[in-house]
């Protein structure tokens, strides 16, 4: 479950959420004795940080880091407080646009519009 959350953050960032302006936000849900709160913010480098915690002392956090790749493009790495990590590399070249994640999934859309991989 935690790895899925890490993956969702990385994928969301891959599609441009990291370009939003820096915002800090806290939301809480629950009534009575039990509540769950989530803090999230984007730091000056554009990295997203999320922390959830409840009134019983449980907590979970996930953060991202964006790096420029040596051949152009970017790599987005997400790590959580349970030790899980997930990354997505994306780049484009003369043959098309490409992405590859840390689980070995790849996707290419060629300049002719052919889709290769991409969960097919």
> Residue 72: what pLDDT?
83
11-22 mean pLDDT: 44
Burial classification of residue 68, based on how many CB atoms lie within 10 Å of its CB (0-12 exposed, 13-18 middle, 19 or more buried):
exposed
Mean predicted confidence (pLDDT) in 50-57: 96
Residue 67 predicted with pLDDT over 80: yes
1 vs 27, more confident: 27
> Would you state the pLDDT for residue 119?
81
Mean pLDDT within 24-38:
92
């Amino acid at each position: 479950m935690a790895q899925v959350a890490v993956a969702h953050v990385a994928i969301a960032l891959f599609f441009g959420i990291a370009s939003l302006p820096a915002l800090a936000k806290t939301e809480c849900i629950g009534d009575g004795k039990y509540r769950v709160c989530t803090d999230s913010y984007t730091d000056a480098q554009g990295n997203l940080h999320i922390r959830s915690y409840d009134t019983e002392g449980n907590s979970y956090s996930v953060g991202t880091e964006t790096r420029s790749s040596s051949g152009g493009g970017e790599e987005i790495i997400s790590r959580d407080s349970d030790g899980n990590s997930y990354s997505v590399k994306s780049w484009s070249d003369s043959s098309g646009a490409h992405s590859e994640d840390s689980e070995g999934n790849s996707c290419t859309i060629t300049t002719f519009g052919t889709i290769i991989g991409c969960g097919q």
